[in-house]
């Protein structure tokens, strides 16, 4: 069987699993939805004043924070990749796959495509909920599609981290623990929830080196401003560098496992 056909079969299998157990789809949506529904409403009273000081006059906090919450979902979804591969290892499912004629690369590629698909579906739910709450996306449908591309690419890059931890430790608990350690410091030390100019100086330095900031700025431009290609291309380039590092590590460990 070819790489493409094998990947398609494994991708369809994973999608059917999501359909049969939709809790898997909503598991990582819990925190982003809490942030979207409660956090943005809590800070909406004085959020507009802070945003004006930070260079976003006339912007509601809901519209400002939507980009950051969409990227937060990418983080949460990436954690599921590592735990899923640990489940396959400990349950013996991966071993069963390896004794079939399935293409070895298709096993990993099918999982990565499933991760990207799940991130896009979850991002669509978050954006739809944000619009219902009053947010507006000025770039319309083309902008939404580009947001999906950025978020899916971002999710793939961070899935590489989760998969690497899972393949290296073979422990779902370790994946969750290290994922949590990485997620919230990087999220709060980015432009996801507050303009960088309002942060303490040391935090601004971290934010300017934080890959989440570049992705958030690109998505936020598509939500609030328009097609700012400099930010979009900058985000894609930065995420691409992260993806090369994380997915290379994943591929190295995966080859060790399957051999």
- Rounded Cα distance between 110 and 15, Å, is 10
- Rounded Cα distance between 172 and 90, Å, is 10
Residue 127 DSSP class: H
The per-residue pLDDT for 163 is: 83
- Rounded Cα distance between 102 and 43, Å, is 51
CB atoms within 10 A of CB 236: 18
Containing domain of residue 112, as a range? 3-258
CB atoms within 10 A of CB 155: 29
Element (H, E) at 213: helix 211-224
Each residue's pLDDT tens digit, 76-111: 777 777 777 777 777 777 777 777 777 777 777 888
Q: Is the pLDDT of residue 220 over 90?
A: yes
Each residue's pLDDT tens digit, 111-169: 888 888 888 888 999 999 999 998 889 999 999 999 999 999 998 888 888 888 888 88
Size (the chain), residues: 259
CB atoms within 10 A of CB 245: 13
Residue 87 DSSP class: H
- Rounded Cα distance between 81 and 158, Å, is 9
pTM of the predicted protein model: 0.88
Q: Is the pLDDT of residue 198 over 80?
A: yes
The per-residue pLDDT for 18 is: 74
- The total number of structural domains that make up the chain: 1
- Rounded Cα distance between 36 and 6, Å, is 38
């Amino acid at each position: 069987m070819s790489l493409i056909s094998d990947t398609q079969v494994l991708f369809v299998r994973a999608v059917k699993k999501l359909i049969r157990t939709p809790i898997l789809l909503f598991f990582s949506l819990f925190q982003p939805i809490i942030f979207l529904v409660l956090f943005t409403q809590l800070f909406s009273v004085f959020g507009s004043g802070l945003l004006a000081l930070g260079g976003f006059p006339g912007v509601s906090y809901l519209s400002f924070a939507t980009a950051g919450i969409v990227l937060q979902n990418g983080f949460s979804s990436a954690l599921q990749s590592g735990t899923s591969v640990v489940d396959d290892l400990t349950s013996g499912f991966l071993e069963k796959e390896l004794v079939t004629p399935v293409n070895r690369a298709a096993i990993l590629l099918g999982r990565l495509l499933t991760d990207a698909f799940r991130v896009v579906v979850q991002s669509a739910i978050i954006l739809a909920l944000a619009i219902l709450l009053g947010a507006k996306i000025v770039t319309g449908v083309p902008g939404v599609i580009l947001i999906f591309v950025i978020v899916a690419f971002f999710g793939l890059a961070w899935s590489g981290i989760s998969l690497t931890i899972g393949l290296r430790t073979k422990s779902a608990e370790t994946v969750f623990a290290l994922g949590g350690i990485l997620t919230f410091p990087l999220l709060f030390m980015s432009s996801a929830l507050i303009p960088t100019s309002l942060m303490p100086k040391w935090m601004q330095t971290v934010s300017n080196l934080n890959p989440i900031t570049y992705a958030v700025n690109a998505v936020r431009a598509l939500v609030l401003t328009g097609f700012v290609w400099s930010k979009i291309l900058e985000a894609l380039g930065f995420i691409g560098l992260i993806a090369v590092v994380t997915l290379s590590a994943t591929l190295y460990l995966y080859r060790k496992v399957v051999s």
